[in-house]
Amino acid sequence: MSAPWLDVLDDTIRSCVTHNRPDLAERLREQRARQLDPKLRVLVLGEPRQGKSQLVNALVNASVCAVGDDVTTTVPTFVQHAETPSAALVRTNADTPTERIPVPIDRLAGELRAGRVDRLVRAEVGLPRALLTSGLVLIDTPGVGDPRPARTASTFAALLQADAVLMVSDATAELTASELDLLKRAMASCPNVVVVLTKIDLATRWRHVLERNRGRLARAGVAAKLIPVSAALRLRAARTGDRALNAESGFPELLACVQRDIVAAADVLARRTVAVTAASALRQLVVPVREELTAHGSPVAVARLNEAQRRVDELRRRSARWQAVLADEMADLVSDVEYDLRDRTRRILREVDRVFETADPARGWDAFEEWLEDNLTEAAAANFAWLLDRSRWVAEKVARSFPVHRDDLLPEGVFPPDVLDRVAKLDKPLIERFTVGQKLFTGLRGSYGGVLMLGLVTSLAGMPLINAISLGAGALFGGKTVLDESEQRLRRRQAAARVAAQRHVDDFLLKFGKDFRDAARHIQRSLRTHFSTLADELQETLLESARSARRAVQEDTTARERRTQEAKRELDRLVRLYQRVQALGDERAAPLVLSA
């Protein structure tokens, strides 16, 4: 006997075929195949440096994922059960769809970090762990918002295959707006999400952050469980066999949640996922049926046909317009951002020049270096925040080019998180020290002329060459030479400091300028993809409405009545099917609208 959710999914697929929506049918068939797979794929998702890889290591008690401050996950890593430990790299190949390259499990992290394998799509790890024997597969993913768009794309591709999601956020700060957007996007594809608060061993106020996050989730309407853990304590407890430390790490609760809410509740997970996917498809099927019902039952079918055609034509005209708006606004944005960044750095350089008109680099270089780094970081942060604000404004302006108003016009998750990263440390210029010995030598060299000149003059009066007058003149000339040399050396130190600061600012402009341009290109591509998909969906829906209206006009009164009755029966059938879909999930989906 098949599961209820499987019958509902099959009925929804048949409805998609009947309504000439092969795209929806194919998407549901892929979902059906994934749900029948005995493996349970749990995606570990989050922004960079939140502790995703360390969480996977702690769950399986093995260092299979690379961790460290200078290490980021580059491709998804699938950790599953195997009788003996094994690892492999999977890449695309011209001859076969994929090629597996076995590697020693202790060298996997190094191979991923070195990036020696071209066209790498994922890494696979097999471990003999009781947690994985039921078919559980843990998937460590690249951080969402990585400056390299391909890594973020691989994460969202893996999200489409997930049965459950562990959303990771560290306890050093509350959930950010970008993390909440990511969480909502994850739940739109996979409603089975658990939020894991990591690094509680590093945050003294993690309980306060935990409560604040629960409040933010409640206000955002996100019904996700929140579990605090420490992977470091878990791994230390595993090495020492300390049960109390293991309990303090929070992993017993997380493992119990995985066993109870994911492994032991596979059918529940399947029902929730199928409910979300099928409900989305049915809502799209109902739109043309409802419009067809209205058109066939209305005496002004011709007017509805003209209106539908007008909306199609308007959408086509505006398609070219929004693309031009997006291209022009993003070009202006990049130009303004670059000008703003250069203007901010110019003000910093002018301040550097003013400081080193009088200051000696030999005495206050460390304080100056800290001041320069702080001001450059502040300038980059303000510039990047302006980039994000302008990008959202551009998205809103493009959305206004569409002839309809929908809740999903504005994109979610296309704005990257902070791309700021420090440049190389400021190189300290060569500081010329004017030592006591150098001063003495310079003074002697300068006093020689004074002694000789005044000694020769006084010798004409019968005095010896070296006398009190010539010695005094030598001392005066020597002191003047020492003061002049000190001032020249100070000017050289100040010039060297200005050159070093200018070079450092140039390096800053080179690196952050590229980072900001890459971020802007990523935003532009994401917006273009989002609005292109949206335009295609709107056009297909409007074309289907126009076709329905045209059929209505061509039918006579008897045929229109017959088709009206058929549309009502079909709409009733879709509503009943939607009600069956609602019964699958834990929460009711949005009800279908039956009238225009």
Each residue's pLDDT tens digit, 346-367:
888 888 888 777 777 777 777 7
Q: Which of 191, 144, 193, 140 is nearest to 165 (CA)?
A: 193
Tell me, yes or no, whether 1 lies in a domain.
Answer: yes
Coil, strand, or helix at residue 458? helix
DSSP string, 321-389: HHHHHHHHHHHHHHHHHHHHHHHHHHHHHHHHHHHTTT--HHHHHHHHHHHHHHHHHHHHHHHHHHHHH
Sort 566 into a burial class: Cβ within 10 Å, 0-12 / 13-18 / 19+. middle
Q: What one-letter code names the amino acid at 504?
A: H
Q: Is 478 found in the same domain as 331? A: yes
Q: What share of the chain is helix, strand, coil (3-state, %, to 5)?
A: 65, 10, 25
CATH number, domain of 136, equals 3.40.50.300
Q: Is 175 found in the same domain as 128? A: yes
Residues of the chain with pLDDT under 50: 1, 296, 423, 434, 587-596
Domains held by the chain: number: 3
Question: Rounded to whole angstroms, how far apart are CA atoms 419 and 49?
Answer: 13
In terms of residues, how long is the chain?
596
Give the pLDDT confidence of 248-260 residue by residue, as tens digits: 888 888 888 888 8
Q: Is 344 found in the same domain as 237? A: no
Do 55 and 195 touch, CB atoms closer than 8 A?
A: no
Confidence (pLDDT) at 228? 92
Q: Is 570 found in the same domain as 547? A: no
Residue 411 DSSP class: -
Question: Rounded to whole angstroms, how far apart are CA atoms 341 and 523?
Answer: 19
Tell me, yes or no, whether 414 lies in a domain.
Answer: yes
Q: Is 288 found in the same domain as 341? A: no
Tell me, yes or no, whether 288 lies in a domain.
Answer: yes
Question: Rounded to whole angstroms, how far apart are CA atoms 289 and 567?
Answer: 6
Confidence (pLDDT) at 595? 40
Tell me, yes or no, whether 310 lies in a domain.
Answer: no
Indicate the pTM of the whole model: 0.49
- Could you tell me the residue range of the domain that residue 240 belongs to? 37-264
Q: Is 571 found in the same domain as 501? A: no
